[in-house]
Amino acid sequence: MARRALSNDVILPSRMLPSDALFWYAEEATPALRPVVGGLFFLDRAPHTEKLEHAFLQWVERIPRLRQRVHEDPLRITLPEWRVDPHFELHYHLRHLELPRPGTRKELFELVSALFASPLDPARPLWEAYDIRGFQGQRAALLVKVHHCVMDGVGSMTGFDALTQSKRNQPIPLPRLRPGQPPATPVRIAHLAAESLRIGADNVKAGAALLAEAIRHPQNVLDQALRAARGLRGLLSDLTAPPAPDPLAQKATGIGRRLDGLTMPLPWLRKMKDALGVTLNDLMLTIVAGAVGRYYCHNKLEVNELHCMVPMSLRRDEERHLLGNRVGMCNVLLPIGEHDPLRRLARIQEQTATAKRDRRSAAYPFLMRVLTFAPTFVIRALAQATTGRINLIVTNVPGPAEIRYLAGARIEAIYPYAPVTLGLPLAIALLSYADTYGIGIDTNPAAIPNPELLHRFLDEAAKEVEKVALRKRSSQALRTRRESNASSTVPQSPATAGRAARAIAISSSG
C-alpha cells in the first residue's frame, strides 16, 4: 500500500488542554514514565491486511488528533500546540509482526510487554498499533498504545466503532485520501488567537454568571463555595499524600514491564455487586485488594495498606465522544491486610463515598480552568510533584456492550493497560466488553517476578467475595420469606374465631 495521508479539511492546530499537558510534561519531568494507555485485542483469526489498514485509516479520519504531532514554541512559555503531521505514514504507526512458533500465550505477552514499555516518538503522532500473527496457530492479536495526552481511558472508546465493525464480513471502504499540510502561519496564529479569546470569554462568562447568582441567591453560592473548598481540600490531600512504605516498590528497577490478562464473566460480577448492594467499581477494588494482599502475604511482606490511584471519569453523556482528558483522581487507601472481604469492602466504600460527597473529582475542572492562566512552569512543577506518590493504579473503563469484529476477525477479549513508571510495581486496568470483564495486569518484573500468582489470586479473591455475596443474598431471601409469611398470617377477630369453632364442632358431630 502506498504512503497516504488523510485530509485535514477544517481541522486546525489547537492548544493542548492543561489536563492533557500534565501528562505531556510528566513524561519530561519523569523520564522513567511511560504515560500511555493501551489495549490488547485477542482475535479468533488473522485480520484481512488491506481491510485492517482501511479500518485504521477510518479511525484516524474519525479522530484527526491521531495524525497530529505536538509542537512547543522555542521559549516554552505557552501550552504546546497540536499540528498536522505532513509526513504522516500509516505504515509507521501500524506494524505487522509474526510470533515465532508455536506462538504461545506466554510468548505473546513477552512481546507485547516490551512493545508497551517502549517510548513513543515525540516527533510523530503519538500512537502505535501492532498486528501480531501466529498466535496459537491461526489466531492473532492486536496491541494499540496511545499517549495519555491524546485521550483518557473513556476517550479511547471514542473511535472504537470507527476502528471495528458489527459484522464479520462488513465492507470497510477506503476513506478519500489526499496529502495533508499544516495551515499557513498567519492562519495558525489567527486560529490560536481566536481560541485564546474564546477561552477567556468562557471564563469571563462563567465569572459573570457566578456573580449574578451570588446577587440573587447568596446562600446557594456560599454552599457551592463550601463544597468546592471541601473538594479542593480532598484533592490536595490526594495529590500530596506520601506513598505508603512498600517493599515491592523498593525492588522495582527500570521500567521493564510484564503484562498479563484474564477475563471474568460480567453477569457473574453483576450478580455479586447486586447481592452486596455496591457498585461494580467498589466490588473490583475489594477483589483487587484481596488479591494484592494474598501476594504480599505469600511473599511474607507485612503491609496493611497501599495508596491506590483510582481515576474517575468526569465526562457528561454529551462529552463521551470528545478527546482529551476529562478525568479526576481519587486516592483510595486499599486495606490489603484486611482478610475479611466484607470489612475490606466497607472500608473501601467509606472512602469512595467520602470522595463523592466532598465532590473531590469535581474540583479537577476548577483546577484545570485555573491552570489555563498559569505559566507552563507551574504545570511542569505540578506534573513532577504528583508523580511517585502512589503505590498502585486501578482504573475501570466501561467498554462496548456488543461483540465487535476487526477486518474479518472476531474480537474475543480486550485487555486494557494503564501507564507505567519506575517505582510503581503494579497497575491493574479493567474493561467491560460484551459479557466479559477484561483485567489487564501490568507488573514490574524486578518487583514481581512471579505475576502468574496475581492471576491466580485475583480469581481466588473473586470467589471469596462470591461466597459472602451468596450468603448475604440467601439471608436476605430468608428474611424476605419470613416477612412475607408474617404479613400473610392475619389475626382473626373474636367473632370470626367463634364462628369458625362452631362450624368445626358441627362438622365433627355430623
Q: What is the pLDDT of residues 267-289, one digit of tens each?
A: 999 999 999 999 999 999 999 99
Q: Which fold has domain 197-375+386-391+435-472?
A: Chloramphenicol Acetyltransferase (3.30.559)
Residue of 437, 459, 479, 468 lying closest to 275 (CA atoms): 468
Q: Check residue 324 and give left, alpha or beta (phi > 0: left; psi -120 to 50: alpha).
A: left
**pLDDT classification of 405: cutoffs 50, 70, 90:** very high
pLDDT digits (tens, 9 = 90+) for 392-403: 889 988 889 999
C-alpha grid cell, residue 406? 476487526
Neighbouring CB atoms inside 10 A of 456's CB total 15
Q: CA dist 227 to 209, 223, 312, 316, 412, Å?
A: 18, 6, 18, 20, 44
Cα(436)–Cα(38) distance, integer angstroms: 18
Q: How far apart (Å, rounded) are the C-alpha atoms in residues 465 and 291? A: 11
Query: Torsion-angle region of residue 359: left (phi > 0), alpha (psi -120 to 50) or beta?
Result: left
- Smallest Cα–Cα separation from 143: which of 100, 177, 114? 114
The C-alpha torsion from 171 through 43 and 136 to 101, rounded to 10°, is 70
- Asked if residue 229 has pLDDT above 60, the reply is no
pLDDT at 429: 94
Close Cβ partners of 140 (under 8 Å, ≥ 6 residues apart): 43, 45, 46, 47, 131, 132, 133, 134, 409
pLDDT digits (tens, 9 = 90+) for 492-507: 555 555 554 444 344 4
Q: Which phi and psi angles does 308 have, rounded to 5°?
A: -115, 125
Between vectors from CA 466 to CA 285 and to CA 352, what angle results, nearest 5°? 25
pLDDT at residue 455, rounded to an integer: 92
Q: What percent of the chain lies above the pLDDT cut of 90?
A: 43
Burial 388-405 (b: 16+ CB within 10 A, else e): bebbbbbbbbebbeebbb
Q: Which helix (H) or strand (E) holds 328?
A: strand 327-334
Compute the mean pLDDT over every residue in the chain, rounded to the nearest whole number: 79
Rounded CA separation 365/20 (Å): 12
Per-residue cell: 369: 480552568
Asked whether the predicted pLDDT for residue 4 surpasses 50, the reply is: no
Under a CB-based contact definition with an 8 Å cutoff, are residues 384 and 29 in contact? Answer: yes
Q: Where are the beta strands (DSSP E) in 360-481?
A: 392-397, 405-406, 409-417, 420-421, 426-433, 436-443
Is the pLDDT at 436 greater than 80? The verdict is: yes
Which string of DSSP letters, residue by residue, matches 199-260?
Answer: HHHHHHHHHHHHHHHHHH-HHHHHHHHHHHHHHHHHHHHHHHPPPPP-HHHHH--SS--EEE
Q: What percent of the chain has pLDDT over 70?
A: 67
Coil, strand or helix: which one is 297? helix
CA dist list (Å): 79 to 73, 190, 236, 284, 376:
8, 16, 23, 37, 6
Identify which of 59, 40, 34 has the alpha carbon closest to the alpha carbon of residue 121.
34
